[in-house]
Chain A
Amino acid sequence: MTIHSSQSQPTETMIELIKVSKQYPPDVVALKDISVSIGTGEMFFVIGRSGAGKTTLLKLLCSMETPSNGLIEISGKSINQLKGHHLAKLRQKIGVAYQDFKLLTDRTTAENIAISMEVSYKKPQIIRKRVRDLLEQLDLSDKHDTVTGELSRGEQQRVTLARAIANSPTMILVDEPTGNLDAATTERVMALLHNCNKAGATIVIATHDDSIYRHTTHRVMELRKGQFHGMTKGNFS
């Protein structure tokens, strides 16, 4: 099933999924025939229960996994067979906040955030400034030199998000961004994501936390057992 953008969606397509399926051995179907277009600068929600295929979808988008079937295009270019330098360049443009954080627990918060900028050879003074700004926005300024292994789950989640957006990527993929956060921090995190979106980044958020998409004006796609279940345009309730 193909879902086309509605009238408010930007004209350029950032992400194009055409009949994408993912099957894990021996016969676990994680996604089946998903087709969707996400416009440049759009904020897009993927919802569904645990095991619905949200995380798999994000992994396919950042080329962490390859689809079993179907085509995935980012900015009009197929990413199915990307390798080496081209894959690295693509990943530099995609910021991903993983559900399992993927933090280096023996490194400080600042070092963890800086890593995504270091790979694109940003100047140290720019990295330092950006890290401080992000920590301030996420209320983590006092954790600058704290080893991430010593942070709480909520703090670790915010560090993951900071790392995902630090390099000012054109596409941000966020997996369960508010799972370990209280209401106030959830609001702060969402405000940061909205700011990135306003700055032009395409944002895909996978979540089962209805508080963050309940009153949204953005499109919300629901997955059930790896299959497309429905698409709602805003004010999901």
Chain B
Amino acid sequence: MSFWLTVLRQVGRNLRQTWGSQLMTLLTVSLSVLIFAFFYLIYTNMLNFGNKLGDDLSLIVYLEEEPGPELQQQLTKKITTFDEVEQIRFISRADAYERFARQLGQNQDVLNDMPKDFLPPSIEVVPLKNLRSLNQVKLFSTYLSRLPGTLKVQYGQDWVERFYYFTKLLSIIVLLSGILLILTTIFMVAYTIRLTIIGRQAELELLKLVGATNNYIRTPFLLEGLLQGVLGSFLGIFSLYILFQWIKLRFSGPSFLNLFEFSFFSPEVSITIIFVSILLCTLGSYSTMQKFLRI
């Protein structure tokens, strides 16, 4: 009989004997993966949402005087010194007037008595479409307000700040649930394997005496940890997928959630979560063996 077949028989036998504690560990690992993946899913969707909202975001810098071509160049240089931007548009008083008139549509008569240069010239700064730029928008705004000849800077200040704090909170939750995942998988698996080792002390002693190699004794425990990781993470991700589908179905009508375009993890992210969980469980199993399995 081959080594692996013998080892698999050992694993099967052990799982049968300690199925209670193995099941508890499996559920704990699954739950940890589910909690972490749940918050991570919200976080990634929030990032996507932020990027989409960022598409419409621009900072409008109102100027005292219309800048000449040379000053425009200087201002462009100053702006790009702070951060890369998507676009910089200089709006003259006349352009601002025309745009305003267009926006008023049929009511543009109200402008008839107004001088064509009553609106201030401005610069429209469109930041890059990423969260870093979005989070930096407040700093960017302060920077722009200090540019020479600036009257004031306008942008969707309220929601940008709220969104920034919300994503920051989410990132902390993701970090905490990630730590929870690491602790539970490592410690729960390590604890279960430790219980198994203690429960099978007599057998392990005998195995050594009849000539079992270290690999013969250790590999089943490693496989048990690995199996916990595989099953636990699959179960966790699968449960999240079911939950995700249910939420999508349940809130598919006109509701607040419809503002967001929720999407599940890409296969790469799912595989990474599963792989990391497997690694953590195997690590838990290995650390216990090093500590308690004296052969």
A93 to B205, CA, bound (A): 17
**Chain A interface category by residue count:** 20 to 34
Known: A85-B214, A102-B205, A124-B1. 9 other contacts (CB 8 A): A85-B213, A88-B214, A89-B211, A92-B210, A92-B211, A93-B211, A104-B206, A116-B211, A121-B1
Residue from A85, A89, A118 having most chain B Cβ neighbours under 10 A:
A118
Q: Does B242 contact A (CB under 8 A)?
A: no
Q: Does A64 contact B (CB under 8 A)?
A: yes
Cross-chain contact of B209 among A84, A91, A127 (Cβ < 8 A): A91
Q: In the bound complex, do residue A102 and residue B209 qualify as a contact, i.e. CB atoms below 8 Å apart?
A: yes
Binding site for B on A (CB under 8 A): 62, 64, 84-85, 88-94, 96, 102, 104, 115-116, 118-124, 127, 163, 167
Q: Does B98 contact A (CB under 8 A)?
A: no
Task: Find the B residue at minimum CB distance from A89.
Answer: B211
Q: How far is the CB of A56 from chain B (nearest CB, A)?
A: 15
Q: How far is the CB of B289 from chain A (nearest CB, A)?
A: 15
Interface of chain B residues 1 through 60 with chain A (CB within 8 A)? 1-3, 6, 9
SS class of chain B's interface: helix, strand, loop or mixed? Answer: helix
What is the number of residues of chain B that contact chain A, defined by CB distance less than 8 Å?
A: 18
Binding site for A on B (CB under 8 A): 1-3, 6, 9, 202-203, 205-214, 216
Contacts of A92 in B (CB 8 A): 210-211
Contacts of B207 in A (CB 8 A): 115, 119
Contacts of A123 in B (CB 8 A): 1
Q: In the bound complex, do residue A119 and residue B211 qualify as a contact, i.e. CB atoms below 8 Å apart?
A: yes
Cross-chain contact of A64 among B3, B209, B212, B213 (Cβ < 8 A): B209
Cross-chain contact of B211 among A120, A122, A124, A127 (Cβ < 8 A): A120
> Could you pull out 12 A-B pairs where Cβ atoms are within 8 angstroms?
A88-B212, A88-B214, A91-B210, A92-B211, A115-B206, A115-B210, A116-B210, A118-B1, A119-B210, A119-B211, A119-B212, A123-B1
With contact pairs A104-B206, A121-B1 given, residues A90 and B211 touching in the complex (Cβ less than 8 Å): yes
